[in-house]
């Protein structure tokens, strides 16, 4: 559905050239929810603007939904953009128009008859859960409701690709989850290809099938979300994974434990898939003469299964501790000794 080959984008200014995107190669499948994550300045927004033709690449090929975006004429580009919709962080709604009128607006531009525009808008209002808000103005809506209008408007022309540029960054955590769940539902119902630009690993974890990590204009790592969570290769990726796997309170708890205990080992366990749901700690205590103190734990659900991280302190005779660790490894659970105390 989306193919990028050796794509680069350089901005020219009086103060010098800025290489925003550098030699990016990427393929995104039809019906996939694909996340692109990176910190501010990584090149994410420039990359997404290349996908809908708002920017043209300095070098390389950009193909989206069968259209070579960097080579089509202006007339064909306008038509191609009807198959590539976008939602934004700050909604970009028309404040003088109602919910229904905002959703109808792209159809109005496309020359769709009024009756058809209204019929389509009503379908989308129901799809995004805004029944009863048809005649409300944006100023009368919550942030989550505004973003639902933005999503409905983006779907008006029945696009093949939906681009989301930091679409949940302005929302509180609960509203963010509801919008992500809506996007996942739309993906399943319509088979829509969704590309999410974000700096939040929670967004990737919640709904994406695959993820690419950007740094300094380049894609430094790419893969299935569960694989990236379990075995991040690049330092940038490890930093993002730690946003979920190792919250600050976990570090504080471990430091507190290390100050007090003089024996045993503190280890970090990483679970994936079915292993995240097994009663591992109970089995260790029953099978070995060790004490186990749970310091911090968290299990997160991804589109492909569960991913969990658990910090524990194991204490006992050295041989028993070694047996317990070997048993953990036999259960296909990754284990990392944080420190010897």
Band of pLDDT at residue 277, cut at 50, 70 and 90 = low
Residue 113 or 277, more confident: 113
Q: What is the CATH number of the domain that holds 336?
A: 3.30.70.260
Q: Give the burial string for 161-200 (b: 16+ CB within 10 Å, else e).
A: bbbbbbbbeebeeebbbbbbebbbebbeebebbbbbbbbb
| pLDDT(26) > 50 | yes
Express each pLDDT in 33-77 by its tens digit: 999 999 988 999 999 999 988 889 999 999 998 888 878 777 777
Let me know whether 270 and 235 are in one domain. no
Let me know whether 187 and 304 are in one domain. no
Let me know whether 65 and 181 are in one domain. yes
Let me know whether 208 and 291 are in one domain. no
Express each pLDDT in 85-123 by its tens digit: 999 888 889 999 999 999 999 999 889 999 999 999 999
Looking at 243, 274, 292, which one is the last position of a domain?
Answer: 243
Q: Are 288 and 316 in contact (CB under 8 A)?
A: yes
Let me know whether 32 and 171 are in one domain. yes
Let me know whether 155 and 171 are in one domain. yes
Let me know whether 232 and 324 are in one domain. no
Q: Are 302 and 207 in contact (CB under 8 A)?
A: no
Let me know whether 301 and 180 are in one domain. no
Confidence (pTM): 0.81
Q: What is the CATH number of the domain that holds 125?
A: 3.40.50.300
Task: Give the chain's mean pLDDT.
Answer: 87
Check residue 182 and give its pLDDT.
95
Residue-by-residue DSSP string for 3-61: EEEEEEEEEEETTEEEEEEEEEEEEE-TT-EEEEE--TTSSHHHHHHHHTTSS--SEEE
Domain residue limits at 326 = 246-340
Let me know whether 50 and 182 are in one domain. yes
**Can you tell me the distance from the alpha carbon of 193 to that of 64, in angstroms, rounded to the nearest whole number?**
11
Let me know whether 79 and 216 are in one domain. yes
Let me know whether 262 and 140 are in one domain. no
**Can you tell me the distance from the alpha carbon of 207 to that of 189, in angstroms, rounded to the nearest whole number?**
14
Domain count, the chain: 2
């Amino acid at each position: 559905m989306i193919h990028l080959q050796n794509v680069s984008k350089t901005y020219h200014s009086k103060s010098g050239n800025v290489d925003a995107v550098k030699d990016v190669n990427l393929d995104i499948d039809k019906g996939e929810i694909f996340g692109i994550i990176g910190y501010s300045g990584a090149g994410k927004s420039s990359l997404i603007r290349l996908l809908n033709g708002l920017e043209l690449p300095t070098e390389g090929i950009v193909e989206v939904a069968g259209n070579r975006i960097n080579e089509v004429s202006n007339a064909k580009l306008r038509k191609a953009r009807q198959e590539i919709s976008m939602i934004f962080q700050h909604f970009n709604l028309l404040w003088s128009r109602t919910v229904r009128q905002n959703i109808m607006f792209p159809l109005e531009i496309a020359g769709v008859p009024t009756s058809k525009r209204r019929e389509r808008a009503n379908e989308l209002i129901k799809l995004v859960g805004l029944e009863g808000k048809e005649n409300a103005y944006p100023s009368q809506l919550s942030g989550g409701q505004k973003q639902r209008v933005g999503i409905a408007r983006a779907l008006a022309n029945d696009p093949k690709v939906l681009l989301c540029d930091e679409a949940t960054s302005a929302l509180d955590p609960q509203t963010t989850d509801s919008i992500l769940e809506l996007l996942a539902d739309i993906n399943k119902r319509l088979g829509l290809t969704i590309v999410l630009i974000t700096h939040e690993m929670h967004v990737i974890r919640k709904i994406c099938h695959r993820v690419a990590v950007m740094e300094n204009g380049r894609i430094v790592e790419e893969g299935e979300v569960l694989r990236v969570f379990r075995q991040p290769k690049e330092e940038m990726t490890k930093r993002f994974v730690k946003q979920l796997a190792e919250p600050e309170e976990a570090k504080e708890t471990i430091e507190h434990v290390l100050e007090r205990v003089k024996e045993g080992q503190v280890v970090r366990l990483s679970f994936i898939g079915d292993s995240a749901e097994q009663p591992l700690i109970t089995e260790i205590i029953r099978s070995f003469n060790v004490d186990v103190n749970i310091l911090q734990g968290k299990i997160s659900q991804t589109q492909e299964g569960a991913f969990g991280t658990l910090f524990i302190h194991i204490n006992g005779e050295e041989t028993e501790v070694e047996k317990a660790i070997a048993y953990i490894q036999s259960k296909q659970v990754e284990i990392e000794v944080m420190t010897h105390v």
